[in-house]
A and B are shown apart, each in its own frame.
Chain A
């Protein structure tokens, strides 16, 4: 090897290692910041109680309204998105598979939907709510977040279905299956572990999103009792508390951030494990 090539080799090896380290460092630093600032405020009271009077001024209580609200919202949205995504993903891979151009178009369209900022979904849903005279509510939040995560779920399912070998499809048809039978009896079963991953990915995205719920789900100090109640969410809980000038309240925002990060990390790791087991 010439000296130039040796140097080139060394330079790029060091460069890639440094960039990789940087990414790890950023993640570690985020975790360090929220833990160092929030851990002291993390208590059973925070996790289990609704905000009491003067909570945002440093009063007692907790953020269970936001924790429960976020779960209700993300679970509801994931179920809704799943109901929409499953038929779409199967349709793409069973029926559209013969039409190459249309297939590419549909996938592109879904990727565009994926890329639309969540605040746009929020604003869009908000205009519809105004039109129908609806108030901020858990239901509206579920629909909005559902619309936000559906393209993610569809594309994730689509990627799983794409890996099913054409041979399995041929085997199914050659036994006399219809397309519907092939979709729901063969493809669905074959892709089930991957689908679980897709749902969890979308769930993780939904639970962490602030902008789409800002106008649609509202905010409240209470755990919602039905779909027409407004609901608090963890991202907005962090947002409102972090805006406070009082340090104790700010630290509680970090505690909420620890909770949210922990939930999202758990979901990501579960999704990975499920995907590997496939």
Chain B
């Protein structure tokens, strides 16, 4: 797995956020700007996300973390007031160019949201839905994958006897794990997680966190959080954002032990 790729240096000021020696990039964001009618939400974002690592987007509420995450699978399309420019490359394809089939690009990314939104169908069908969309029709394959992904999020034993019941009757912690499994079922390369534990109790939160640590062997994870402790527990790399800009980016140890900017120092001090 350790193929060393040279990471292209885009521009001098951007280079500051690029250098992650020895990591394989999967997602490459260049000069991304997002504007709404009367505000600039993201300013000149340059970011390379390394493969099979947990990259945490950290920062105070309203700093643009969620917007950045939504840009990555173009959920921003749903909000007509947002105007995007720049490029986001995954596998060498610029997903903002409009040339590619957005549904296929979205299947390269599994999304876990702040609150779980199970589809209005059974537990089984929640997982099978994405598979069917991908064109998998064979029942034996679907059943096998449903089991595999429910096991992957440690939900199988809890629900194996009631796969045909409505997913909306599960507890919120179970729903969140189901939503994670649902996202994994389409076999994405990247998991986008937007404060996935913010609606959960501490025990369910811990379960999700442990899942993430296991899943990074197979997936690249981009996690939005404003919980400093969670970031410290999970992060390999940290992107610290403030008012729509990336202020600092680097390996977790460096960010937490050697913050360079005053804003980050203050954030770490207060947030502790």
Residues of A within 8 A of B (CB): 97-100, 165-178, 181, 185-186, 189-190, 192
Contacts and interface: CB of A to CB of B under 8 A. Distances in A.
Chain A binding surface SS class: helix
A99 B80 contact: yes
Contacts of B133: 175-177, 181
A174 B106 contact: yes
B76 to A, nearest CB: 10
A172 B77 CA distance: 13
A219 to B, nearest CB: 45
Contact of A165 (B80, B117, B183): B117
Contact of A173 (B78, B104, B115, B121): B78
A167 B119 contact: no
Interface string B166-196: 0000000000000100110010000010000
B41 interface: no
26 contacts: A98-B78, A168-B120, A170-B70, A171-B111, A171-B113, A171-B119, A171-B182, A172-B119, A173-B75, A173-B106, A174-B106, A174-B111, A175-B106, A176-B103, A176-B104, A176-B186, A177-B103, A177-B133, A178-B103, A181-B133, A185-B129, A186-B119, A186-B120, A189-B121, A190-B120, A192-B120
Given A176-B103, A176-B133, A170 B186 contact: no
A63 B106 CA distance: 60
Nearest to A187: B120
Interface string B102-124: 01101101110111010111000
Chain B binding surface SS class: mixed
B73 interface: yes
B20 to A, nearest CB: 26
A175 B78 contact: no
B259 interface: no
B126 to A, nearest CB: 10
A174 B75 contact: yes
Interface of B: 70, 73, 75, 77-80, 103-104, 106-107, 109-111, 113-115, 117, 119-121, 129-130, 133-134, 179, 182-183, 186, 192
Interface centre among A173, A175, A176 (most CB of B within 10 A): A175
Given A166-B78, A177-B103, A171 B120 contact: no
Contacts of B109: 174
B75 A175 contact: no
A228 to B, nearest CB: 42
B120 A175 contact: no
Given A178-B103, A181-B133, A169 B78 contact: yes
A79 to B, nearest CB: 24
Contacts of A190: 120
A171 B80 contact: no
Given A97-B78, A175-B130, 18 more contacts: A98-B78, A168-B120, A171-B111, A171-B113, A171-B117, A172-B119, A174-B106, A174-B110, A175-B107, A175-B129, A175-B186, A176-B106, A176-B107, A178-B103, A181-B133, A185-B129, A186-B119, A186-B120
